[in-house]
Chains A and B, each alone.
Chain A
Amino acid sequence: MRALLETRLLPAIAVAAIVIVLPWFFPSMFYYRIGTLVFIYALAVVGLNLLMGFAGQVSLGHAGFLGIGAYSVAIGPTYLGMPSWLSLFAGAALSGIVAFLVGRPILRLKGHYLAVATLGFGLLVAIVLSNEAGWTGGPDGMTVPKLTLFDWSVRGSDTWYWIACATCVLGFVLALNLMHSPTGRSLQAIHDSEIASLVLGVDVASKKLTIFIISAIYASVAGSYLALFNGHVTPDVAGFLRSIELVAMVVLGGMGSIVGSLVGAIVLVVLPQVLTVFHEYEQALLGLIVMVFMIFLRRGIVPSLVAMLKGWRK
């Protein structure tokens, strides 16, 4: 029992160990900032990975849920007098409800058709956020009040680093739990053969909807954190490029790999920072490096490296 528990959660435990040790090597506060961004993105990516990597359903509009979460913690405290933490939960609930309403009709679609439908959803959210200027401040965005828990005002990148990584590890644990459960097995089964899943009694439509809602909630919480951490939010948070960035993190790190979600987030958050020394060639180099990764580690960084290690051991 104990051994079983430990093997199941091994990736989460390993990640937790690394993030605790890591700050000893941080030379400045800036590194805490980057670390925080990595964990916030990793949280959204793990949710999207459950949808894409496990259940095999693409979403090109996931930043839409990031946006709902981000604007919830902006609008809730500013206009509705709700505390930030309550706004975060309200945003997560709202994202879940929106995912339910949107998911029911569009999850019947497959492959490219589903991709385009989710893309439409993401665009819709971004446009609503920039047009409803009375609530959202329009394209310029709005200020997000600081997170206050009881009397403690949360500030500083180092504090946020710990909050983000704790939440991220929690997200990993829940995802790993789900994988090793009847729900997780049926999701993986749906990925490989919907028809075989159906004849084994799996309610495919409801399982797809369930994982779409869960992944939306992951993205929403990540969006809320992003807004609270930055103290400012613009409609870009829900934009198409942000959605693509999330998908790229999933694929680059490894579809269906929990640790891969973190690795994907690390690469696409840290690399642009490192590459700023190349000035105008930064974006081009980033593109090139991502291409090289995909050519040589075609199943994503983590699954490909794991396969290589297994190969060497034999």
Chain B
Amino acid sequence: MIVLETDRLAITFGGVRAIDGVNIAIESGQVFSIIGPNGSGKTTLFNLVSGLYKPNDGSIRLAGETVTGLAPDQLARRGLSRTFQNLQIFSRMTVLENVMVGRHRHERTGVLADLLHWPTVARQNRATREAALAALARVNLADVAERQAGSLAYGALKRLEIARALASEPKVLLLDEPAAGCNPIETQDIDHVIRSITQDGITVVLVEHDMRLVMNISDRVHVLQSGRTLTEGTPEEVRSNPAVIEAYLGVHGSQEAGRAFD
């Protein structure tokens, strides 16, 4: 079953077609990676799919429903969650509270009930807290639950963002460079986390520069160049595609690389 699909998606920034007619179709439960050189439009594609940008052209379908132009919070309530390349942590809140906000779409809220602390609010707070703790345990952060989020190390914050997104129990999780700036051990942690997420049947869409991570865990790899699709295939197909090597290294570089391999 196709859970996320774009059809001839396009957006223009000041005359530049940042994304230009991209079609992707992601099978449920897969790890789908989007790679490409800097400026090829990977994050722009994420911003379109998660509703932060509105496309000029084309459409997006989430679990069979056309969601083109919906706001990010509406998409979130339909089961799409994401993390950010540059961290977006609620740094003044505790680690646990960060993840509790992730439960928002499952909480019933009424301002009056909240002001009066109705018994239902107390009950729900406990349920939210437990679900958030479980999400923290999955990324190995349960022991720092009460710490202020801003005081955590970079690698831990990367995992915190994943836990927060996981707490919303998404159908599709977009991870924007989860391993960027992480050391090899932290990258391995991220690798484990992503694998465990897919075991729950959550579809993972990954933008990542760490090729070893991408080739290791992806089912499909989609290559962008200058906002257009270059190719798509299994990690093996993409790795051996000369056009991909050229896109990354340039014509001259690919010749050099070719010579080096001879």
Using A174-B115, A177-B117, A181-B109 as known contacts, say yes or no to A199 and B104 having CB atoms under 8 A apart: no
- Which of B88, B89, B125, B165 has most chain A Cβ within 10 Å? B88
Instruction: Report the minimum CB–CB distance from B225 to chain A (whole Å).
Output: 27
Complex contact A201–B117 (CB within 8 A) = no
Complex contact B90–A183 (CB within 8 A) = no
Q: Which A residue sits closest to B72, measured CB to CB?
A: A198
Using A181-B117, A182-B109 as known contacts, say yes or no to A193 and B73 having CB atoms under 8 A apart: no
Instruction: Report the minimum CB–CB distance from A44 to chain B (whole Å).
Output: 17
**How far does the alpha carbon of A203 sit from the alpha carbon of B101 in the complex, in Å?**
12
A104 within 8 A of B: no
A63 within 8 A of B: no
Using A188-B90, A214-B111 as known contacts, say yes or no to A198 and B101 having CB atoms under 8 A apart: no
Q: Hey, what's the 0/1 contact readout for A186-228 against B, CB within 8 Å counting as 1? A: 1011011101111111111000001000100000000000000
Complex contact A196–B92 (CB within 8 A) = no
Residue numbers in A under 8 Å from B50 (CB-CB): 199
B54 within 8 A of A: no
B18 within 8 A of A: no
A180 within 8 A of B: yes
B71 within 8 A of A: yes
B168 within 8 A of A: yes
A80 within 8 A of B: no
Residue numbers in A under 8 Å from B208 (CB-CB): none
Using A181-B109, A181-B125 as known contacts, say yes or no to A198 and B93 having CB atoms under 8 A apart: no
Q: Which B residue sits closest to A195, measured CB to CB?
A: B88
**How far does the alpha carbon of A177 sit from the alpha carbon of B125 in the complex, in Å?**
12
Complex contact A193–B90 (CB within 8 A) = yes
Using A182-B128, A185-B101, A203-B73 as known contacts, say yes or no to A196 and B90 having CB atoms under 8 A apart: yes
Complex contact B72–A178 (CB within 8 A) = no
Complex contact A189–B101 (CB within 8 A) = yes
Which of B52, B92, B111, B117 contacts A180, CB < 8 Å?
Answer: B117
Residue numbers in B under 8 Å from A182 (CB-CB): 104, 107, 109, 114, 121, 124, 128
Q: Which A residue sits closest to B105, measured CB to CB?
A: A201
B81 within 8 A of A: yes
Complex contact A192–B92 (CB within 8 A) = yes
Which of A4, A8, A189, A201 contacts B90, CB < 8 Å?
Answer: A189
B76 within 8 A of A: yes
**Contacts across chains A and B counted by CB atoms under 8 Å:** 109
Using A192-B91, A193-B89 as known contacts, say yes or no to A200 and B114 having CB atoms under 8 A apart: no
Residue numbers in B under 8 Å from A8 (CB-CB): 117
A1 within 8 A of B: yes
Q: Which B residue sits closest to A194, measured CB to CB?
A: B88
List which B90-109 residues lie within 8 A (CB) of chain A: 90-93, 97-98, 100-102, 104-105, 107, 109
Complex contact A204–B122 (CB within 8 A) = no
Complex contact A202–B92 (CB within 8 A) = no
Using A181-B125, A189-B93, A214-B111 as known contacts, say yes or no to A196 and B116 having CB atoms under 8 A apart: no
A264 within 8 A of B: no
Using A183-B109, A200-B76 as known contacts, say yes or no to A177 and B115 having CB atoms under 8 A apart: yes
Complex contact B101–A183 (CB within 8 A) = no
Residue numbers in A under 8 Å from B98 (CB-CB): 189
Instruction: Report the minimum CB–CB distance from A262 to chain B (whole Å).
Output: 19
Complex contact A192–B115 (CB within 8 A) = no
Complex contact B84–A196 (CB within 8 A) = yes
A184 within 8 A of B: yes
Residue numbers in A under 8 Å from B111 (CB-CB): 178, 183, 210, 214
Instruction: Report the minimum CB–CB distance from B59 to chain A (whole Å).
Output: 20
Residue numbers in B under 8 Å from A197 (CB-CB): 101
Which of B73, B102, B116, B164 contacts A174, CB < 8 Å?
Answer: B116
Residue numbers in A under 8 Å from B90 (CB-CB): 188-189, 191-193, 196
Residue numbers in B under 8 Å from A193 (CB-CB): 88-90
Which of A1, A174, A202, A214 contacts B104, CB < 8 Å?
Answer: A202
Which of A183, A192, A201 contacts B73, CB < 8 Å?
Answer: A201
Residue numbers in B under 8 Å from A198 (CB-CB): 52, 71-73, 76
Complex contact B105–A200 (CB within 8 A) = yes
Residue numbers in B under 8 Å from A196 (CB-CB): 84, 88-90, 164
**How far does the alpha carbon of A180 sit from the alpha carbon of B115 in the complex, in Å?**
9
Instruction: Report the minimum CB–CB distance from A182 to chain B (whole Å).
Output: 4
Complex contact B89–A185 (CB within 8 A) = no
Considering the complex of A and B, which 6 residue pairs feature the smallest CB-CB distances, nearest first? A201-B76, A181-B114, A201-B105, A196-B88, A177-B117, A192-B90
A-B contact pairs, 29 of them (CB 8 A): A174-B115, A177-B115, A181-B113, A181-B121, A182-B107, A183-B109, A184-B114, A185-B97, A186-B101, A186-B104, A188-B93, A188-B97, A189-B90, A192-B90, A193-B88, A193-B90, A195-B72, A198-B52, A199-B72, A199-B76, A200-B101, A200-B104, A200-B165, A201-B73, A201-B77, A201-B105, A202-B73, A210-B111, A256-B92
Given contacts A181-B115, A202-B104, 14 further A-B contacts (CB under 8 A): A177-B115, A180-B125, A181-B109, A182-B114, A182-B128, A186-B101, A192-B91, A196-B164, A198-B52, A200-B105, A200-B165, A200-B168, A201-B76, A256-B92
